Structure 1
Amino acid sequence: MDEQYSEMGLDPGVEYLRDVAEGFAQLGRRVEDEGGHDPFQAITSVACERVQGAVGASITTLRYGEFLTVAATDERVRRADAIQFELGSGPCLDAIVTSTMYSPCDLRTDDRWPAYGRRVADELGLHSMLSYRMLLPSTGTVAGLNLYAEAQGAFTERDTMIGLLLATHGALVATAAFYDRHVQNLERALRSNRGIGTAMGVLMANHKVTEDQAFDLLRITSQNTNRKIVDLAHEVVQTGALDVTPHQRPLVAVSPPDSLTSRPLP
């Protein structure tokens, strides 16, 4: 790759940095396009596209002592992860547990994971891997990024470094996305609590009841009318009144059992 850049009159170092920058930008766009709902899936797809030789990528998490594949580019790599979970051995698991990067060039002959290497090579045709630990300190989760290749020794030193940078940057992007989602949930809860508090104030003023009694009015009405307290609170704030009319559920016609319809009339 560096020789190609030299023949083109380009500085390999500059092109390398440009590749990394483009990868970061692509990851940011992908996460934004998905609305931040699944940053892990965006990371796997971008990593697979940016690292030459990779035919698939996955992200595995360790939480409460259980490994789980939370994102994968295809079912083959998902199965490759599952074999590791089944055996309790593999580059992905070790990368997460020991916080070390692993880059086996020939899984079939690698004596660190003999059972896994033979199975993933024979059953899935995968012979090379890159596995990185992803630090997600604010989510309570430890994760690992895995890249799979069919060829032996498929990943160059350049590929390894690009994968490492994407794993590091991807962890930051994922953490930010999860933090934003948490903030949005808190904001929605705060707005709901404010609405309920305002509705309680209206009921206390209109009916001369205590704070606890005002909340009980909302709670009991919610149960009797099959409506959410938040919706009732919004209505009270808008109208000044609490509608206690039950919401009727649609009637469903029920046919009598055959034992009754077939019984002769007296």
Structure 2
Amino acid sequence: MSPSPLSDPSGLAALSDELGHLLRAEAASLGDVVDVAAKWVPGTAGASITSYRGAHFTTDAATDERVRRADALQYDLGSGPCVDAVLDDAIYHPDDLLTDGRWPEFGSRVAHEEGYRSLLSYRLHTGIDEVVSGLNLYADEPGAYDDTSVARGLLVATRAAAVIAGRKMSHLQKALESSRDIGAAVGVLMSAHKVTREQAFDLLSIASQRRNRRLRDVAAEVVESGWLQQRSEGAQA
């Protein structure tokens, strides 16, 4: 039973209940997370999750195309609350994008082109070194977000990070269970390179992509040879 509005005036306990239920679902997705954010953070017109991989920003989930366009504008400019929250490991909360002097070009364009005036951006702490992510909440009105909104958004950000980390670990676990060679190769790489299990799996995955070979075939080669070949035969430097 969810807490009543009188016993939970900030809505945090009820939001936590819904997020907890979401995380217990095997099919939980980042799309579900942004939908919950838009529902539970008052004033939110749209929400998204940004990832930063290999010096490139992408939107992994969004409530609608309008949000995706606003995210893309930040990526193109290389400036905005979303970009800076991810890079600076901070929370950014501009009350009015049209007048905030920190992101003048983005603020003016997103206000006039997409109609957004307020934004909440959070860095997501997933524990995955190679991928940095952020949660973005867009509002149509200036001053849309108060302290309660910021607290609710932070709770959503915390659970979003758990979903991302869980998906990563689930993918790793399924791969290890599907092939004894993959598990053995991960062990070889952990010992040889003094890396974690997740990092060793990433090394295998990168080699598989670069060489256009199945992961299990690359793993079998590592088990046999004791080392990991990154480049395909005949590749040019």
Between the aligned partners of 2:150 and 2:76, the Cα distance in structure 1 is: 27
Distance 1:192 1:172, change over 3 A: closer
1:104 aligns with 2:94: yes
1:26 aligns with 2:47: no
1:74 aligns with 2:74: no
Q: Which residue of 1 aligns with 2:141?
A: 151
Distance 1:85 1:192, change over 3 A: closer
Unaligned runs of 5+ in 2: 185-215, 218-237
1:47 aligns with 2:37: yes
TM-score (norm: length of structure 2): 0.70
Q: Which residue of 2 aligns with 1:177?
A: 167
1:15 aligns with 2:9: yes
Does structure 2 retain, via aligned residues, the 8 Å contact 1:128–1:148?
Answer: yes
Q: Which has the larger radius of gyration?
A: 1
Quote the offset at 1:176 in angstroms: 2.0
- Runs of 4+ in structure 1 off by over 4 angstroms are 31-34, 191-194
Between the aligned partners of 1:193 and 1:89, the Cα distance in structure 2 is: 41
Secondary structure of residue in 2 paired with 1:100: coil
In the alignment, residue 15 of structure 1 is paired with which amino acid? P
> 1:176-215, CA deviations, whole angstroms, 9 ceiling, x for partnerless residues?
2321222112111239999xxxxxxxxxxxxxxxxxxxxx
Map 1:83-162 to 2 at 5 A.
83-138=73-128, 140-162=130-152
Quote the offset at 1:139 in angstroms: 5.8
> 1:189-247, CA deviations, whole angstroms, 9 ceiling, x for partnerless residues?
239999xxxxxxxxxxxxxxxxxxxxxxxxxxxxxxxxxx99xxxxxxxxxxxxxxxxx
Secondary structure of residue in 2 paired with 1:56: strand
Q: Which residue of 1 aligns with 2:228?
A: none
TM-score (norm: length of structure 1): 0.63
Q: Which residue of 1 aligns with 2:27?
A: 35
Between the aligned partners of 2:76 and 2:175, the Cα distance in structure 1 is: 36
In the alignment, residue 169 of structure 2 is paired with which amino acid? Y
Between the aligned partners of 2:129 and 2:142, the Cα distance in structure 1 is: 35
Distance 1:93 1:190, change over 3 A: same
Please provide the CA RMSD for this pair.
2.4
> 1:144-175, CA deviations, whole angstroms, 9 ceiling, x for partnerless residues?
10000001101111001110121022212321
In the alignment, residue 29 of structure 1 is paired with which amino acid? H
Distance 1:192 1:84, change over 3 A: closer
Distance 1:173 1:193, change over 3 A: closer
